[in-house]
């Protein structure tokens, strides 16, 4: 992959990435490795915001129709993102927690060289933290979104299930939507398309993965 000319980006870390080898919750060694990776990337001339998911703890859609209304379930999911952000904040040893989000304040923190963690999703049900990542990236004037996953890019099918799944080097937003590639939801891709926001999908399983993407090293798929 050629070196991306990113100067300000949002790194989207899914809940699944934080659970490491476990199927639920936070795997502390994995959390610490990701925090160290983010801290190391600060040495580069790049400004970093982080959107944290919550799927390792709770997803609203999973309880919808089982006694919990979707909107309540989604609020629970958004609280899960706050839990993950607090754990990541502790691992990053950051000085300040839980400031109410305003675009101006977040922009100021980024300009002062801090890593800003965006928790709580968009604050609305029926959305995901992938959409949140693209939204915050657009609001913060970012050059792109780095979508950290457990696989090294976008495939035509789930590579864990289909041995014939083909990996893409690059795709347009429109192709990702038309092919119904499930790496991100359609709302996130559509918002990225409207804002000409490239999304780099990469694996965060190896130490140094974030820095490697900034340097244009390692395997990743560029969408857009």
Q: Which residue has the tokens 């937003």?
A: 173
Name 62's Cβ contacts closer than 8 Å, sequence gap at least 6.
73
Q: For ligand UDP, which is the closer residue by CB, 1 or 220? A: 220
Burial class of residue 16 (count of CB atoms within 10 Å of its CB; 0-12, 13-18, 19+): middle
Contact between 187 and ligand UDP by CB under 6 A: the answer reads: no
Helix (H) or strand (E) holding 91: helix 70-92
Contact between 53 and ligand UDP by CB under 6 A: the answer reads: yes
Minimum CB–partner distance for residue 211 and ligand UDP (Å)? 22
Query: Would you state the structure tokens that stand for residue 164, as one six-digit string?
Result: 């014939």
DSSP 3-state assignment of 63?
A: helix
Minimum CB–partner distance for residue 53 and ligand UDP (Å)? 2
Q: For ligand UDP, which is the closer residue by CB, 6 or 127? A: 127
Main-chain dihedrals φ then ψ at residue 174, nearest 5 degrees: -60, -40
Q: For ligand UDP, which is the closer residue by CB, 14 or 221? A: 14
Minimum CB–partner distance for residue 127 and ligand UDP (Å)? 3
Pairing assessment for the beta strands 167-168 and 154-155 based on DSSP bridges: antiparallel
Q: Which of 173, 178, 19 is nearest to 84 (CA)?
A: 19
Minimum CB–partner distance for residue 59 and ligand UDP (Å)? 3
Residues 74-133 touching ligand UDP, rule: CB under 6 A, are: 74, 77-78, 80-81, 121-122, 124-125, 127-130, 132
Residues engaged in binding ligand UDP (CB under 6 A): 14-16, 53-55, 59-61, 73-74, 77-78, 80-81, 121-122, 124-125, 127-130, 132
């Amino acid at each position: 992959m050629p070196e991306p000319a990113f100067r300000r980006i949002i790194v989207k870390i899914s809940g699944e990435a934080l659970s490491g080898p476990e199927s639920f919750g936070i795997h502390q060694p994995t959390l610490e490795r990701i925090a160290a990776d983010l801290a190391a990337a600060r040495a580069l001339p790049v400004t970093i915001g982080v959107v944290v998911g919550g799927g390792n703890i709770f997803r609203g859609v999973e309880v919808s129709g089982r006694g919990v209304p979707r909107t309540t379930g989604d609020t629970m999911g958004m609280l899960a993102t706050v839990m993950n952000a607090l754990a990541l904040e502790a691992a990053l040893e950051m000085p300040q927690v839980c400031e109410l989000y305003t675009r101006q304040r977040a922009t100021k923190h980024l300009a002062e060289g801090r890593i800003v963690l965006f928790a709580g999703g968009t604050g609305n049900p029926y959305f995901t933290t992938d959409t949140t990542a693209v939204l915050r990236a657009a609001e913060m004037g970012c050059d792109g979104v780095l979508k950290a996953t457990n696989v090294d890019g976008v495939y035509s099918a789930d590579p864990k299930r289909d041995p014939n799944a083909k990996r893409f080097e690059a795709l347009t937003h429109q192709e990702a939507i038309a092919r119904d590639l499930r790496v991100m939801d359609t709302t996130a891709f559509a918002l990225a398309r409207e804002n000409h926001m490239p999304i780099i999908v990469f694996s965060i399983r190896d130490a140094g993965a974030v820095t490697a993407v900034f340097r244009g090293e390692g395997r990743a798929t560029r969408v857009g």
